[in-house]
Amino acid sequence: MAIVFEQPKKTVNWVRLLFIVFAIAFVIFAAYFLFFAPTPQLDVVLPAPLERASQISELQFVDPSTVLNSQNFRRLENRIGPPAIGTLGRSNPFIKI
């Protein structure tokens, strides 16, 4: 009687192979977009309110002393008096009214 030794066949683990291929593709994809892809133009991406905000931020401010010393500013009236403290409550809150 002859003894036949068959070597076991090595099967391919498809899940592990697909995971490795996906991981390598993800690393290549991420490296491309992080380092080699062209950057988007921010002027195109910005909405209109942000464009207006950038225009406002570019304004040149004047010296406040010129405004405070101007005749038009001095003519303004102070129509509101200083704040006053009103009644803060009863002297004895436990007395019935």
pLDDT digits (tens, 9 = 90+) for 24-82: 999 999 999 999 888 766 556 667 777 788 788 887 887 888 888 888 888 887 777 77
Report the alpha-carbon distance of residue 72 to residue 66 in Å, rounded: 11
- Can you give the pLDDT at residue 25? 97
- Can you give the pLDDT at residue 92? 85
Output 73 or 19, whichever has higher pLDDT. 19
Whole-structure pTM value: 0.36
The H-assigned helical ranges of 1-97 are 14-31, 42-45, 48-57, 64-68, 71-74
Cα 43 versus chain centre, distance? 17
- Can you give the pLDDT at residue 32? 93
Tokens coding 5: 């030794």
